Amino acid sequence: MRIAKVLIVDDRPENLLTLESLLEQPGIEVVRANSGEEALGHMLDHDFALILLDVQMPGMDGYEVAELMRGNRKTKHIPIIFVTAEGKGKAQVFKGYESGAVDYLFKPLDAHIFKSKVGVFIDLFHHKVALEQKSLELDQKLVELEELQQQLEQTNEQLLLLSITDGLTGLLNKRQFNANFSHEWKRAYRNKSPLSLIVIDIDYFKAYNDTYGHTKGDECLVQVAQALADTVKRDVDRTARVGGEEFAIILPDTELAGAQHVAERVRDNVELLAIQHKGSPVSEHVTVSVGAASIIPTQKEDTLSLIKAADAALYKAKGDGRNMCCSATLECELGAV
């Protein structure tokens, strides 16, 4: 338990000894002052539970000390009990209360009354300390809860990220690709706007794995994925890994000409990686075949129509020798919204 410090202030040493003897008990530390000036000095260095203040002192009297305490933020709430000679007029008692005293003790002191009154304020001090400790503990708990909340939010973000991204390449996974593609299809249908899809396949990737091993194969996939991500500049575009060595790019509000441009940049950027591929019959380096397709969705089609068109363009690119881009468009009339 925290020690309760009591400041006793009196210009007469014998009075200080009397007060000190009455306060002698476990849990109380007594600090003495024989003048108002000395008392104010002690208040700068200690946190007092109670002040027993003599009214009549030479120089600065008890009233002045009390008034100065009440004007200081650090000491304004410390309880003051005035100690004065019995028989003083009511006017002086009222003046003491106006100066900030909470109670009066009259000399000669009655030990029973003294200990009873002082005990009330010592108990109040201990309750205040306990409340402060509980408040600190509560603040700490709130800080811990806030930290846990932040950790939970970070974990949820990480879980969400893991649920929508491919663990190897960091691109969107196939499930998220399907969700995004469905969303963009519906938006394009509502807005009567074009939607393009690019599908990419690494040429002779099985031969690459057979030649260099699966660890190198994973490194190749990561490099190709980064090249695709770097190629796509708009925030609305989405790049995904949809199979082992297969990738797809969704291009909202993009006509076929724009998709063809992106497809060629994809093919060029992968080739610029200059990843050696001794198992490829078409190039010394890793290359990709790319298919692009575009449509303005209507009631006559569904998402599979654009996927099939892009796949058909990809197969044509493979059939025509690989390391190239082919494209297709679906010409349809606009349906009712």
Q: For residue 267, which phi and psi values (nearest 5 degrees)? A: -60, -45
Is 322 in a helix, a strand, or coil?
A: coil
Set 137, 144, 245, 246: catalytic member: 245
Q: How far apart are CA 248 and CA 114, in angstroms?
A: 88
Q: Which of 231, 232, 227, 233 is nearest to 273 (CA)?
A: 227
Enclosing H/E stretch for 249: strand 246-252
Radius of gyration of the chain (CA): 43
Amino acid at 12: R
- Contact present, 156 and 38 (Cβ < 8 Å): no
What amino acid occupies position 209? N
**Between helices 62-70 and 90-99, what is the axis angle to 10°?**
30
Contacts of 67 (CB under 8 A, 6+ apart): 99, 100
CA–CA distance, 162 with 156 (Å, rounded to integer): 10
Tell me the three state secondary structure of residue 122: helix
User: Can you read off the two tokens belonging to residue 152?
Assistant: 């939970």
DSSP state of 283: -
CA 52 and chain centroid, separation:
50
Q: Which residue, chain included where needed, has tokens 């494209």?
A: 327
| Residue from 296, 323, 295 nearest 310 by CA | 295
Q: What are phi and psi of 266, to 5 degrees?
A: -60, -50
Residue 248 DSSP one-character state? E
Q: 272: how many CB neighbours lie within 10 A of its CB?
A: 10
Q: Is 245 a catalytic residue?
A: yes
Catalytically annotated residues: 245
